[in-house]
Amino acid sequence: MASIFQRIGALSSSTTLDTKKFHLSSPRSLLERKVSFLVVRSDAAKINSGVNRIGGRAHHLVANAVATKADTSAESTASKSGHEILLYEALKEGLEEEMERDARVCVMGEDVGHYGGSYKVTKGLAPKFGDLRVLDTPIAENAFTGMGIGAAMMGLRPIIEGMNMGFLLLAFNQISNNCGMLHYTSGGQFKIPVVIRGPGGVGRQLGAEHSQRLESYFQSIPGIQMVACSTPYNAKGLMKAAIRSDNPVILFEHVLLYNLKETIPDEEYVLNLEEAEMVRPGQHVTILTYSRMRYHVMQAAKTLVNKGYDPEVIDIRSLKPFDLHTIGNSIKKTHRVLIVEECMRTGGIGASLTAAINENFQDYLDAPIVCLSSQDVPTPYAGTLEEWTVVQPPQIVAAVEQLCQ
């Protein structure tokens, strides 16, 4: 039903669009698949549609551009009641609910069983579901990723945990050549509904090898989907959506976000994997970000509002494919884009996003796209150096000021 509203909105804005370049088909075409469960769109969708606008909420957000956690929870709670939860607990809740719902869902990874996972996302699941269903594996990422693929082809729905995303580089062959490909090369005979998840990103002095941003390496692989969660609300929703999806999905979590607290709804909800999240509507500039950088952006937004700017912040969430619909609508409004990412400059998500936006929305840009990323260096261990490899709020403020000149 929301899809109809979306198309109306799309049509009205597409009259001036060069249809040769980009057919503004709604990403809701992805919903051709049968949706039998309740899919709650983020309020962003409701705001974007021409009808059913929760205008009051939007005005509130503009007035109070305070980048506290209360802000993010404002748009996420669909009901008055809810329960407070930490992000890693939200992931666990989503995981547990799916495991209860479908007996084919299982978890495999290093130390996920009785140890409960290195970040406690699977704590308590092994005693509850048994240690065959929550499987502790020996240290061989290629093998247990391969195992997950084999089990998925047989009908199970495994969740493969990389203790740290960086370790999944060892499983690259299985992920790229088999996970992404076998549905295609088998002519659709075998499907691979795996979820590959784990913590990644730059943490607090974890060293170069444990501070990898794997989204940039995986983004080319055809056949997989990538999503990045950033709040307890979207973490649970994306986890559930990823498990229910028949495609292989890579869910990127961030090491430093596991202890974020938020109130999430009591009732069941599943988010849309291909949708971006409107964090803060605005008029002057579109800031696209995801994962931990969202919080740096919101912090910068505080400063920017005080300086009189009105940034629109979108958490893109879906890293493959990009939600060009939400992004496009935002660009048509603001005409200026700033991308803030944690990936390295070369070949990161920002680089792809820049190319995609340039290709599709060239006519709507008043200024070249600015992309703030980490430098092309291995993450140093020293705390002070590490802090400066990632994009910091002052840099974001400066970039917006420059962009809006």
- Residue ranges that bind other proteins, judged by CB under 8 A: 22-23, 25, 27, 29-30, 32-33, 106, 132-133, 135, 137-138, 140, 142-156, 158, 173-174, 177-178, 181-191, 222-223, 225, 245-247, 274, 321, 324-325
CB of 222 to other proteins, least distance (A): 6
Q: Which of 89, 93, 96, 141 is catalytic?
A: 141
Tell me how far apart the alpha carbons of residues 230 and 73 are, in angstroms, rounded to a whole number: 12
Nearer to other proteins, 49 or 174 (CB): 174
Question: From the CB of 283, what's the least distance to other proteins, in Å?
Answer: 26
356 versus 367: smaller Cβ distance to other proteins: 356
Cβ proximity of 241 and 276 under 8 Å: no
Strand partners, 287: 313, 338
| 210 given a catalytic annotation | yes
Paired residues of 84 in beta bridges? 263
How many whole angstroms separate alpha carbon 292 and alpha carbon 371? 16
- Residue tagged active-site, from 75, 96, 210, 215: 210
- Indicate the residue among 141 and 386 with the shorter CB distance to other proteins: 141
Nearest partner of 319 among 278, 281, 274, judged by Cα: 274
Backbone angles phi, psi at 34, to 5 degrees: -75, 125
Q: Whole-number minimum distance, CB 182 to other proteins, in Å?
A: 6
Nearer to other proteins, 159 or 404 (CB): 159
Give the list of residues 6+ apart from residue 398 with CB closer than 8 angstroms, or none: none
> Sign of dihedral through CA atoms 22, 24, 27, 31?
negative
Element (H, E) at 327: helix 324-334
Q: List strands edge to edge, sheet with 311-315.
A: 277-280, 311-315, 285-289, 337-344, 370-374
Rounded to a whole number of angstroms, the minimum distance from the CB of residue 155 to other proteins is 7
| Catalytic status, residue 401 | no
Cβ-contact 180, 171 below 8 angstroms: no
Distance in Å, CB of 25 to other proteins, minimum: 6
Nearer to other proteins, 274 or 315 (CB): 274
Least distance CB 288 / other proteins (angstroms): 17
Alpha helices in 130-214 (DSSP H): 141-153, 172-173, 182-185
CA distance 246 to 263: 29
Q: Which is nearer to other proteins, 247 or 299 (CB)?
A: 247
Which residues are identified as catalytic? 141, 210
